[in-house]
Structure 1
Amino acid sequence: MNEALDHDIDKANGFGRALLNNNGTLNTTTRNGQQLYQSLTSLSDAAADASVSAYALAQQNGKPLPESLAAARTQMDKARTAAVRAAQGYGLTREQAEAVADSLGLMPSKVSLLLETEGMDSTLADLLAVQAELTGCQGRPRSRAPRPS
């Protein structure tokens, strides 16, 4: 994907660090900044729709809650990966591209917030996120605090 982007990018219209504001967000005062922003917001919108649809489909098929949330996170993760690659095609480092993806809400760990905005009760969304995290921790070694003597 990056090679394809290289052919369409005029580096004189903003490239690399010039595409970022001081706070790390995307600078849309350049032509390339505008193009990248439009691409990433379209990708973000599509990711939100795909995540909600994946969750709903999993629930309709009787999948347990952790699996339904995992399906939604998978969709968001795919979109995040595509967004990071696109931003890197505009000369951003991986770290910079990930920060831009974060600023646009492309964070798989925040899928429960997305579901909340799609009409789910906020308390239920928070509980679902906690339950999914706890379920994901099962089987992992636990760290234990030393017992007081």
Structure 2
Amino acid sequence: MPHAETDLAIPWAIVCLLLLATGLYGFWATTKGSTWHHRQFVSTSWGFLLMFLCWGIVYIAVEEHHVLKVNSGCMERTSWTWDKCDQRRKTASLIAIILVSVGMVLGFYFTLILNRWVASIEWAEHLEEEKRLVEWRSGKGENPHAHNMA
């Protein structure tokens, strides 16, 4: 069973490291990456977000619905009273609820903003390809598919 005091540190540290790695990859993808990298950033963000939400929801469920086991385990490991263990359990649940809420807001952000952003980049590339194709057909430009034939 998860415990409010001991089980917050490692999972949240992993979550923060994954968030940092995702952010660094996203920064690199937006400054130097191709459209493929932009798509991978959105996918990575979604994967991280789903992992984060699943872990948070399970954590909240355990802390809120297994009060007796969580508090008994806390009292066995520490010299705290029931009230102090219960207070720590409630604090841990509140932190998890807040972080899951932030994760849900980020989920809407990834859905509405980032997917539109990648789609607009893909659309701009498509329009540029069409423009080069029209120029080539009118005899004013090079074959846009020539770089694929080499």
TM-score past 0.5 threshold: no
TM range (shorter): 0.3 to 0.5
Normalised to the residue count of structure 2, the TM-score between the two structures is: 0.37
Q: Which has the higher contact order (CA 8 A, sep 6+)?
A: 2
Question: Highest CA radius of gyration, 1 or 2?
Answer: 2
TM-score norm. by structure 1 comes to 0.37
